[in-house]
Amino acid sequence: LTPLPPPSASSSFPTMALEQPKLFNKWTFDDVEVNDISLEDYIAVKPKFAVYLPHTQRRYQSKRFRKAQCPIVERLVVALMFSGRNTGKKILAVNVTRAAFELIHLNTGKNPIQVYVDAIINSGPREDSTRVGAAGIVRRQAVDVSPFRRVCQAIYLMSNGAREATFRNQKTFAECLADEIINAAKGSSNSYSIKQKDAIERVAKANR
């Protein structure tokens, strides 16, 4: 048997261009825009933060501000895992988020990641009040809210609103979460997070 000739450079395998990961292998991160310039650095949706599954298993809590690098959809998943009996059930939270994003797409016809980002921008309070005082005399003082806290607060309010809406209700958690995100993205007062944001800003305005 004669040995085969070595492969030439021209006969090498064709190189395929790597495409960007899509969330749940369905929703693209490429066309998602953050329309609030102050929140751009704290909402991780740029293509470099693209993931197939919002379950990266990194230790974002070990250093201050590191969770700003956490994919924004994963931050929603983590916020759903609260209230005792849901603690640590991340796969369940991922499945709820996946179902909610499907419902958002069916209702709006848009990329659910974009709808979710718009909901975060609308739901974070821009002004809050803090306790200032000493020697037993305490008063409240209005303060501006940092962009990072606005994102954290918005995610917390949305997940809390969905959890309260689904309790003792025939609607599933995914349906309530989808409704909450859609209403928040529209700025509708039917949204729990928008109501809470308005209440926080109203109290802050009174304490200026």
Q: What confidence score (pLDDT) does residue 178 get? A: 96
Q: What confidence score (pLDDT) does residue 67 get? A: 92
Q: What confidence score (pLDDT) does residue 58 get? A: 92
Q: What confidence score (pLDDT) does residue 110 get? A: 93
Query: Which whole-number Å values give the CA distances from 59 to 62, 63, 109, in the listed order?
Result: 6, 8, 34
CA distance 174 to 134: 46
Can you list the residues of the chain whose pLDDT is less than 70? 1, 5-17, 135
Whether residue 110 contacts residue 193, with contact meaning beta carbons closer than 8 Å, is answered with: no
Within 10 angstroms of residue 140's Cβ, the number of other Cβ atoms is 15
User: Taking the model in full, what pTM does it have?
Assistant: 0.88
Q: What confidence score (pLDDT) does residue 196 get? A: 95
For helices 192-206 and 112-123, what crossing angle results, to 10°? Answer: 20
